[in-house]
Chain A
Amino acid sequence: MAASKCTQLTAALSRQLLDSVDCVLFDCDGVIWRGDQVIPGAPEVVSSLKKNGKQVFFVTNNSTKTRQMYADKLGKLGFDATADEVFGTAYCSAVYLKNVCKLDGKVYLIGSNAMRQELEDVGIRPVGVGPDPVSGGQKDWADVPLDKEVQAVLVGFDEHFSYMKLNRALQYLCNPACQFVGTNTDTRLPLEGGKAVPGTGCLLKAVETAAQRQAQVVGKPSSFMFECVASQFGLNPERCLMVGDRLDTDIMLGSNCGLKTLLTLTGVSTVAEAEANQKSECPLQQKMVPDYYIGSIADILPALQA
């Protein structure tokens, strides 16, 4: 469609774009909500898309909620959405461990109760969730009892992250046969009011550094997140639109999977950054250029309701 990229999405172009897709995938933070605040007009956009016969999915790197918890949040904020339309990394990591890693055993989990729940729901037993303060002395730490049934280490967001957890993960990962998966590499958890809290990316970096190993990463921009949705719902990439606020995760995912991409400016990335990527000679940066950009997702409402 767009021979030129990074085009502002006008009303006329909106109608054209919407007619060319059957399915819209939304990132959440910075696109339809910010922290606990809904982006005005976003719920109406989702309803209108569905009325127009489009499939709608929510694809988020945030690993702190189960699909049902997301559905509850969506409902509370006025969205018409169900749990099976949500693809968060807690759920997708469980699917990844089951189907890609073919895990048949336990996983040492640095993560949330939500992750624990999603793992248990696919029949994988996690160990390690919750507070884990240090005990004993340095020479005891290399000898922490290891569960022989653990076949993988999974790292997601964990506010109980501690030296002891880092140590346990390292001990498991000293075995090269032990698989190593991370939910995502986002460095910050976005919060309302411009505050930010260190994200999963930091915890994953700590474990990768100690173990001198690279994790397999499930979240955007890895194409697994799209494949997860596509395999369950039979999607045609060329008829899909990815809407996101981050060039390095959402838009890159779109590029990787051959989707159309729309950058909203209610979150992290800016048009200036997108244009800089467009001018760059670097192939990687070229993947971080959206087809279109728009001030807020609410701006497509007129085209939808026409």
Chain B
Amino acid sequence: MAGGGCVTLRGAQIRDLLDSKHDVLFDCDGVIWNGETAVTGAPEVVSLLKQRGKRVFFVTNNCTRPRENYVQKFSRLGFTDVAEEEIFSSAYCSAAYLRDVARLQGKVYVIGCGGVMKELRDAGVPVAEEEDAEPGASIYTCPLDPDVKAVLVGYDENFTFMKLAKACCYLRSPECLFLATDPDPWHPLTGGRVTPGSGSLTAALETASSRKATVIGKPSRFMFECISSQFGLDPARSLMIGDRLETDVLFGSNCGLTTVLTLTGVSTLQEALAYRDSQEPQQKHCAPDYVMESVADFLQALEE
């Protein structure tokens, strides 16, 4: 599916769409919840989809929490039956990539937060210990761990120049892998505010090292391949629902999924139409097949 027509879904069309799909992939932020508030109707939609025999997965670029935290959040917000296995975060998938695809022999140097560290530990991927800064330590003389064979960069509220310098040193070796959890330049917070995202830290490191990171998160295909390796997904029978055109919709497009944009998050209908009408092929891939106000629009079709 190479870029969609932004069709507004109504009535019977919604039912027909759901009938044609077996697996539904949801982005989280801006689709099923906003911050600590569930999108009205979202918990019911998820339950009903499962009752109708669909499989449901959650695909999020957010790398700040381990999966077990997400399970708790789902429960807290009224989603009654979401299991850890159904949740795919960029932190979890980055760990899976290092363990199963890269088959890392050695340690990973991480610029990231607790969520990423936990997923790496749970996956059995050794993490280079961050030594406490000695008083005399400077950016010009950083002690390096010779076992480091990969660098992983993601959202890190404790990001410092020293970490950037160290990561850059490790990346001087061409054999050292360079991974990024996700490319999001900023993340939305409630009230229309924003905070810097993994993408901005990755950009700093790419500039410093003159290397491009392998990005795990959407719109890269890897998260889909990760889910598929565990659950056997057929792209033609899968639906991707997201709120961010440049990540969720492009991801769906890259993986051959039908895409739905919901308007409860970052992107607007206007932006979607602009991508649809663009002359550039890459931009067209950011246009969704369908547009809905909110996932709650599925309710009517599901309750029949």
Contact = CB atoms under 8 A, between A and B. Distances in A.
Interface of A: 133-134, 138-139, 141-143, 158-164, 166-167, 170-171, 174, 187-188, 191, 195-199, 201-203, 205-212
Interface string B187-231: 001110111110111011111101000000000000000000000
Contacts of A205: 203-204, 206-207
Contact of B186 (A134, A159, A170, A195): A170
B140 A141 contact: no
B160 interface: yes
Given A142-B191, A205-B206, A209-B185, 18 more contacts: A138-B195, A139-B190, A141-B195, A142-B189, A158-B161, A159-B139, A159-B162, A161-B164, A162-B161, A163-B157, A163-B196, A187-B207, A197-B140, A198-B164, A202-B203, A202-B208, A203-B204, A206-B196
16 contacts: A134-B157, A138-B189, A139-B189, A141-B157, A142-B195, A163-B156, A163-B158, A166-B200, A170-B195, A198-B161, A198-B204, A202-B164, A203-B204, A206-B203, A209-B203, A210-B199
Contacts of A191: 140
B1 interface: no
A166 B201 CA distance: 9
Contacts of B194: 142, 170, 174, 210
B159 to A, nearest CB: 4
Contacts of A158: 161
Nearest to B159: A163
B200 A209 contact: yes
A141 B140 CA distance: 30
Given A163-B157, A191-B140, A206 B201 contact: yes
Given A139-B189, A170-B186, A198-B165, A209 B160 contact: no
A171 B207 CA distance: 23
Contacts of A207: 200
A197 B185 CA distance: 24
B168 interface: yes
A160 B140 contact: no
A138 B157 contact: yes
Contacts of B197: 210
A303 to B, nearest CB: 37
A4 B164 CA distance: 43
A198 B196 CA distance: 20
A163 B112 CA distance: 11
Nearest to B36: A139
Contacts of B207: 187, 198, 201-202, 205
A202 to B, nearest CB: 4
Nearest to A143: B193
Contacts of B204: 198, 202-203, 205-206
A197 B196 contact: no
B154 to A, nearest CB: 12
A203 B200 CA distance: 9
Nearest to A161: B161
Contacts of A206: 196, 200-201, 203-204
A203 B206 CA distance: 11
B60 to A, nearest CB: 15
B172 to A, nearest CB: 9
B89 to A, nearest CB: 16
Contacts of A188: 208
Contact of A212 (B158, B185, B189, B201): B185
Contacts of A162: 158-161
B76 to A, nearest CB: 16
Given A166-B196, A170-B195, A205-B207, A198 B168 contact: yes
Nearest to B141: A195
Contacts of A198: 161, 164-165, 168, 204, 207-208
B62 to A, nearest CB: 11
A2 to B, nearest CB: 31
Given A166-B196, A170-B194, A206-B196, A187 B186 contact: no
Contacts of B208: 187-188, 198-199, 202
A163 B154 CA distance: 12
